[in-house]
Amino acid sequence: MSEAGAGRYAPSPSGDLHLGNLRTALLAWAFARSTGRRFVLRIEDLDRARPGVEQRQLDDLAAIGVDWDGPVVRQSERLPRYEAAIDQLTAAGLTYECYCTRREIQQAATAPHGPMGAYPGTCRTLTASARERLRAQGRPAALRLRATVTELDVVDELRGPYRGRVDDLVLRRGDGIPAYNLAVVVDDAAQGVDQVVRGDDLLPSTPRQAYLAMLLDLPVPRYAHVPLVLNTAGQRLAKRDGAVTLADRRALGNTPGQIVATLAASLDCTATSASELLAHFNAGKLPREPWILDVNGLLQCSRCP
């Protein structure tokens, strides 16, 4: 592991990065580089991987001047690490099988990026015979954490103290795939990540992740959740909002430098390259409000240099 810690960007290869994703990546990079730390990239491809997307994401990051240290890590290549962590928790008596239907599991556990209802603990106290009966029905079992707290306080470097729910979260899904919350904790520690900078849609998942890190005897990283980019209707920026990817913007004649300038302007900074942004970067002065992006306004390039 490293002497100096690292920052990271961890995209899911489910679609091309849009301006909001690129802005978060640029910020995560600037947080790390401005403090002389490493910056690592991790592709979170345990599900939702679409062919060709990973390479385009890497190309787009490079095009806006985000560089990274060491090889790109892919979660799909690290399954034994997640299983080892699950074994560690199981050996400590901190897991149980859950036979709830896929629908119930999905409702409770597949929305790591948003507020989610706590799992009510239906399978926590199953008797051995009840478990056998469910197993005999051929129901796939997920593995859940036997949490001993219901809430945890974390401190976010931008948002301040945050108290959030910790429930019996899924560690391994019914289809055998390790859950996001587990994988992210194992990987951040293994990659020496000591500061997690990401979109604030993930703030609600943070207490769960910090709790898991503690149970696994891993260092809890510092957290800085940055405001998301919203469209003019106040919704999270998405592909349907128009020309929002680097490829879209290039097709309209924007250069990567102009895109960086636009992203920098949204951070109250004047810069046409990542290195220029870095020279002016001041984490304490970042806007705390979401950036409202008028994609059609961008088309006229009114904010481009």
Alpha-carbon distance of 216 to 189, in angstroms, equals: 10
Amino acid 200 reads: D
Q: Which is nearer to ligand GLU, 15 or 140 (CB)?
A: 15
Query: Are the C-beta atoms of residues 56 and 16 closer than 8 Å to each other?
Result: yes
Alpha-carbon distance of 77 to 25, in angstroms, equals: 23
Alpha-carbon distance of 161 to 223, in angstroms, equals: 11
For residue 100, the minimal CB distance to ligand GLU (Å) is 25
C-alpha 100, offset from chain centre: 26
Q: Which is nearer to ligand GLU, 53 or 277 (CB)?
A: 53
For residue 198, the minimal CB distance to ligand GLU (Å) is 4
Query: Are the C-beta atoms of residues 238 and 18 closer than 8 Å to each other?
Result: yes
Q: Which is nearer to ligand GLU, 74 or 139 (CB)?
A: 74
For residue 11, the minimal CB distance to ligand GLU (Å) is 5
For residue 270, the minimal CB distance to ligand GLU (Å) is 28
For residue 178, the minimal CB distance to ligand GLU (Å) is 13
Q: Which is nearer to ligand GLU, 12 or 231 (CB)?
A: 12
Starting at the edge strand found earlier in the chain, the sheet holding 222-226 runs: 160-165, 151-156, 222-226, 195-199
Alpha helices of 34-141 — where are they, by DSSP H? 53-63, 79-91, 102-109, 128-136
Choice among 133, 135, 239, 285 that is catalytic? 239
Q: What are phi and psi of 219, to 5 degrees?
A: -65, 140
Q: What are phi and psi of 109, to 5 degrees?
A: -135, -10
Q: Which is nearer to ligand GLU, 29 or 96 (CB)?
A: 29
Q: What are phi and psi of 96, to 5 degrees?
A: -150, 155
Active site residue 239: yes
Q: Which is nearer to ligand GLU, 8 or 261 (CB)?
A: 8
Interface contacts to ligand GLU, rule CB under 6 A: 10-12, 44, 113, 184, 198, 202
Q: How is residue 37 annotated by DSSP?
A: -
Which of 187, 199, 291, 299 has the alpha carbon at shortest distance from 253? 299
Which of 214, 198, 99 has the alpha carbon at shortest distance from 152? 214
How many CB atoms are located within 10 Å of the residue 43 CB?
21
Catalytic residues: 239
